[in-house]
Structure 1
């Protein structure tokens, strides 16, 4: 902030001196001189704000936020909701701060899955070595042994990780709206085994090593010619100057590289891998799947790759705003017929909840998920509204198929 104030003060001082110098001139000369002066002042540079370093708290407590008894994120001192624009006119810094908070919340949700939902973490690949990057999923204690029914949760794309539907809803609304925890608890209460997939954890991101210049011993430095030492001192002085002036410029982000996780390098690969090593080996006779957005596309890719297995084991699929496309994904006629009978896609719509909608693609029934019109967040909010509806459908389902009229039936309260 000091360099910023110094630049502004210097510019104003120059302007004041110059105005004093032209005070004795006639009006026309004054106007000409003032215009010339203003043309030489970089107002954009004068008004530029310093971008602080991208250094943020590592815990919710350090952020001074906590989740209250209603699962809402609130400031521990003011009780106010999260404020994105912590610093005016510094959008990139505010975004980085938001992302840092999001990473903390990801770990917080992991902790809830383990402590509140009693889920266990299963590492992927199953035969991973100690020195390779890994992913993981979460399983209920009876996920593989439950002989009756298994519920598999697949989220959409983006920054969300296992146990989350939408990070923005967690931060701006509450945990019940943005996480899969209400689904998990209800499923376990109703006798389902549960698998929570993690389709967006596809790589390990590491910082690229910086290229260091050759080091010299003090003896070597002292033997350098005076001219060479002067050049080095000048360069070091320039570096120090750049250090003190760097806050006048955007922060430089560290260069990173991504190391893909074996057999889990994409959402589609992850869903296929979990099917092969977990779902297909589960004891449950009836498998039910909930998938949001890109998770629906990943499921369709799964059925393209494992058509007979999926048709024999999966009894119902509840989708929300699924981004699948039966034409682009080249699904077979048999798969399309199966999806029409066993799948339902809740989509954002201005129509009342559960209203049956028309579809350009004949793949599966589409119904309204949200009575919100063009309200912001309808896409992710649809997953929240799906909770009661999909359980109302999954409960009476059997592998003999389902009646589309069940789409409009709501589950009775527990």
Structure 2
């Protein structure tokens, strides 16, 4: 009997404690809800994320390129730091993008001042008010009688003169400038800008979409909308907490005949490359630039085969049926033959396993490849016999 009484007493105490704990937890929850209801979320969010206003020059960012082409802080000498504000990924990303736009302008200045390239506006017959793009060309790009080199970068945010923005910011000035500088040694140069496809403008609100102030709603509809707003507020609480600033709504107006990388490449071929006096056209195509060139071959096959002497691709999955070599990702030493995916274009190691470094690492190999291709073509041209009826008959008999 005493044992039963002890068990009963123990259970009673346990139940009482559980009830007290539950009551205490409920009071804590109520207190937390009350606290949250009194927090000024707008004010809290302003404190959480700084304004999305960033410097417009390298000097204002307090960064500069040193003698090695590395981006460094002007005071500390440290490399660029992405996580400038801890736990504010969106703000850090916007800051990175703002710096990237400054880098783009910096590269344009280097192309013009260091490489003596000039800007050509596209379309060539663009009106004053329509969206425009541009490419860069050397002075002799259309008049060089021997050879011109055409540079086509991959997709993304990169613009004329860049292979990869991330490398420029985080490693060194890894741009197309060395390729353009080589143009001073007998090459005419044309630098494409395949990702400049549209003009970004702020979207103007459509008055037709605004609700009429005179419109009356049924109470049920009002209640449903109110519940929907409340649910959305709860669901998006965390997102709103970390993303308080509303970004401007933008729209893109496509550039005529240059609205895609493929269109752009075709347009530049028709209006510039095909009009060049050069007997030899040499192409460097990185990544998606390979697809742009393949599309060009499909659209202008006879012209391309007649003018293009060699194509150097860097980590492109696109191959072409012409004098081509593709420098791909590989741990093997530079120029080591890699197992081909297809039989139409040799694949060799770029000496790196970083996609964006392939053009930079294979720089010297590409120009050797071009020199060999030009020499082979010259030898073939000089050794080709004059075709006669008898020689043609002998060839057929031999076959």
TM-score, normalized by the shorter chain, greater than 0.5? yes
Report the CA distance shift for 1:94/1:285 in structure 2 as closer, same or farther (over 3 A): same
Corresponding residue for residue 268 of structure 2: 274
Q: Which of 173, 182, 185 is the matching residue for 2:181?
A: 185
Corresponding residue for residue 344 of structure 1: 325
* 8 Å CA contact 1:286, 1:399 repeated in 2: no
1:194 pairs with 2:189: yes
SS in structure 1 opposite 2:144?
coil
Partners in 2 of 1:181 and 1:159 — Cα distance? Answer: 18
Deviations 1:357-384 (A, max 9, x none): 1122222110111244xxxxx0001111
Deviations 1:192-222 (A, max 9, x none): 0100000000000100124689xxxxxxxxx
1:393 pairs with 2:391: no
Partners in 2 of 1:168 and 1:261 — Cα distance? Answer: 26
Partners in 2 of 1:319 and 1:402 — Cα distance? Answer: 22
Structure 2 spans left out of the alignment, 5+ residues: 1-15, 209-239, 380-399
Partners in 1 of 2:275 and 2:36 — Cα distance? Answer: 64
Question: Where do 4+ consecutive residues of structure 1 move more than 6 Å?
Answer: 26-30, 42-49
1:209 pairs with 2:190: no
How far residue 44 of structure 1 moved from its aligned partner, in angstroms, is 10
Partners in 2 of 1:400 and 1:99 — Cα distance? Answer: 45
Corresponding residue for residue 39 of structure 1: 29
> Cα RMSD (Å) of the superposition?
2.6
Partners in 1 of 2:247 and 2:341 — Cα distance? Answer: 45
SS in structure 2 opposite 1:107?
helix
* 8 Å CA contact 1:52, 1:247 repeated in 2: no
Partners in 1 of 2:36 and 2:283 — Cα distance? Answer: 55
How far residue 68 of structure 1 moved from its aligned partner, in angstroms, is 1.3
Deviations 1:128-169 (A, max 9, x none): 000100000001111111111100000000000000000000
How far residue 253 of structure 1 moved from its aligned partner, in angstroms, is 1.4
* 8 Å CA contact 2:194, 2:264 repeated in 1: yes
How far residue 187 of structure 1 moved from its aligned partner, in angstroms, is 3.0
Corresponding residue for residue 67 of structure 1: 65
1:359 pairs with 2:349: no
How far residue 30 of structure 1 moved from its aligned partner, in angstroms, is 6.2
Structure 1 spans left out of the alignment, 5+ residues: 1-25, 214-245, 327-335, 373-377, 404-414
Q: Which of 247, 254, 259 is the matching residue for 1:253?
A: 247
* 8 Å CA contact 2:145, 2:277 repeated in 1: yes
Partners in 1 of 2:378 and 2:29 — Cα distance? Answer: 75
1:85-124 matched pairs, under 5 angstroms: 85-124=83-122
* 8 Å CA contact 1:150, 1:287 repeated in 2: yes
* 8 Å CA contact 1:156, 1:294 repeated in 2: yes
How far residue 248 of structure 1 moved from its aligned partner, in angstroms, is 6.6
Aligned residues: 325
Q: Which of 284, 292, 302 is the matching residue for 1:290?
A: 284
Partners in 2 of 1:197 and 1:38 — Cα distance? Answer: 64
1:150 pairs with 2:140: no
Corresponding residue for residue 76 of structure 1: 74
Report the CA distance shift for 1:358/1:56 in structure 2 as closer, same or farther (over 3 A): same
Corresponding residue for residue 139 of structure 1: 137
How far residue 399 of structure 1 moved from its aligned partner, in angstroms, is 7.7
How far residue 262 of structure 1 moved from its aligned partner, in angstroms, is 0.5
Q: Who wins on radius of gyration, i.e. which is larger?
A: 2
Partners in 1 of 2:358 and 2:378 — Cα distance? Answer: 22
How far residue 398 of structure 1 moved from its aligned partner, in angstroms, is 2.3
Partners in 1 of 2:372 and 2:36 — Cα distance? Answer: 66
Partners in 2 of 1:393 and 1:27 — Cα distance? Answer: 83
